[in-house]
Amino acid sequence: MSDARRAVLPIPDTKHIGVTTYTATDPDTSYPPIAPLRPPEGAPNVLVILLDDVGFGASSAFGGPCATPTAERLANGGLKYTRFHTTALCSPTRAALLSGRNHHSVGMGAITEMATSAPGYNSLRPNTCAPLAEMLRLNGYSTAQFGKCHEVPVFESSPIGPFDHWPHPGGGFEQFYGFIGGENNQWYPALYEQTTPVEPWGTPEEGYHLMADLADRAILWTRQQKSMAPDKPFFTYFAPGATHAPHHVPQEWIEKYKGQFDDGWDAQREATFARQKELGVIPPEAELTPRHDEIPAWEDMDDALKPVLARQMEVYAGFLSYADHHVGRVIDALDDLELLDDTLIYYIIGDNGASAEGTVIGTTNEIMVSEAPDLATPEWLIERIDDLGTPKAYNHYAVGWAHAMCTPYQWTKQVASHWGGTRNGTIVHWPGGIKAKGEVRNQFAHVIDVAPTVMAAAGLPFPTMVNGVDQEPFHGADMSYAFDDALAAERHETQYFEMMCNRGIFHKGWTAVTKHATPWEFSGRSEDLEADVWELYDTTTDWSQAHDLAAEHPDKLAELQRLFEIEATKYNVLPLDPRFAERFNAEMAGRPNPVAGRQQLLFGGMHRLQENVIINIKNKSHAITAEIELPEDGAAQGVIVAQGGSTGGWALYVHAGALRYTYNFTGAQMYKVETTTPLPAGTHQVRAEFAYDGGGIGKGGDVTLYLDGEQVGSGRVERTHWGIFSMDETTEVGSDAGAPVSDDYGPSDNAFTGAVSWVQLDIDEAAEDLDHLISPQERFRLAMAKQ
């Protein structure tokens, strides 16, 4: 098949022109055989592995303290790229990687939860930028994604879609198994197969962990694909979500690192820096950039807290090693199938720099960072040191460790201006296509270079039209020019960077950059962009951006600042948006809100509903009403409705036969309100009214419980979540999936033993007369009429 036919996708069908006979038995009957769609001969299998929140100085393959033998194995048989760059944040990096275009050009200027209505930030990939997976699928590849997808717009994440921006079908992946969102509980994950929510096969006690599960699924799919279509290459995108917080890992992997980080993060930076020079992943003349004043010195930390801080890093190191181990299982499966030589593998060790979003002392619960920073005290951490890494915690490490994991560079994740936020060690392995083995490549590269490289390796032309829409060209450069030429002149000469108004420009070795915001500051961020101070570095002589030349070369700085403005205009970066907390609010940000009105009706059996698709009852008075049917034997038990999980949330349920309401505040404080008498058998309406105190966000309120309109219990909740319950936990009717909201029940024994007909959420409305029962059909009609 000629390249010209592949320039339009799907490839237009060709009609057979020839003699048409009346019967198939006529000897003149002749038609060409049906030929299955395949890419050009020699097109390799492709495996793209993307880890999460791993800085340049974490993996042992790039001099870090975390053992990653799989990365080392692939590097020994392939190439290490020392100047490979990401966007400094997860959703944008993934959108750029999978499309081959700059992240603002595909609407992903930030994470999906911060989407606005501006084209560069709306989280909507335009149909003029078809994803790589779709191009490969339409050229005859099998396509599959396993793990994290943080590119689904929050307003399209409901069970009814639309699914245009999901991995399947809109993203071009025929198979998807993983999660939608920024992070996931590794012990109790919220998972999807295609677009259907599914539950993990077991519990932590039964040996379940998400990382192992994803590897199992990837291996099974690969074996099946090669069993059914051995002549058809595959494109597999394996993005497990490790090592994003929460840092969850089996205990034995943590113990491997016991005592190895007792000297602290400053000493670790020095050790990593020396090892990086030994490995040749930084040049001999490179300098270790100084620690910024905002990051505390190890020696200044409280001695009583240091064991906890060291434990945080032990947990993280174990998590990264555990992730690499399971990546190794996927690689071993390819080896067993004798596919390694014919598989182009990208092992991208991090979608941005290490995460400094865990505060200067770390946390046992990420949600505490924004919802209850006053509770995350050193004493709190010290008391819970043994919980780190286990199902009891949702932990993250301290800023100092994140900085150390980005050695030798300045700053961390979110800070797109400096290499600490954007430079990630990357390995390319393809024995059948690359002669060089165990070598280092120092050419500048970026995630947008992966798609054009894969297309070139497959012998496929860039399609000018996909699904009837003219396509915007790739923004990246094919990296294969340097596969077998270590001294090749680099072809990616200009690249802008922008994240949270941290911004910069790389051009022919020079960088002009300005840091605007600090990652661990969640409030009070400046909106004055004119006050930002620009820095200038010549990275041809200053590898790590250690010497600011702005004062010495003001003309060069001005030239690059103007170039940034040109590139920013070209790729939809403007208007810059310095807002932070406001962008998490759909109304203020200008994105659609999938739940309209002041009322929402849910039905029994609805489950795994993400927080963004449930009416927001935070910071306001509200009521939760449900119609339930209780068994005649009086053995009523289980969850009627629950939102959130162990990190925070609320649940209305039956416990020991009595109605109970629990409000879990950040996993730190549990408020319970219950009735004094068991619920009678039969059909009833139960209701919890929350009278919010007002006077600001995150305040408390009074809770009153009703049975068929009669008050049966009351109590008090002193503090509430103002912003979010969880990044991954969901809402269920008739159960509580994931890590439970309440300690009154477990993760596998909370299903309601009766039946839940419906649940209605009302905000800022007076109590209704519940003396009579209303059918679900009538309740639905009334609810729709009110909206």
- What would the DSSP string read from start to end of 308-375? HHHHHHHHHHHHHHHHHHHHHHHHHHHHHTT-GGGEEEEEE--SSS---TT-SS-BSBTTHHHH-TTT
- Pull the structure tokens for residue 449: 């270079």
The pTM assigned to this predicted structure is: 0.95
Q: Which residues contact 25 (CB under 8 A, 6 or more apart)?
A: none
Which stretches of the chain score pLDDT less than 50?
765-787
Joined tokens for residue 761? 């959420």
pLDDT given for residue 587 in this prediction: 83
What secondary structure, in 3-state letters, does 186-228 show?
CCCCCEEECCEEECCCCCHHHCCCHHHHHHHHHHHHHHHHHHH
The predicted structure's pLDDT at residue 738? 94
Q: Cβ distance 92 to 150 under 8 Å?
A: no
pLDDT at 1: 64
52 token code pair: 């999460």
Q: For all residues of the chain together, what is the average pLDDT?
A: 94
For the four alpha carbons of 48, 54, 56 and 58, in that order, the dihedral sign comes to negative
pLDDT at 636: 86
Give kind and range of the element (H or E) at residue 452.
Answer: helix 450-457
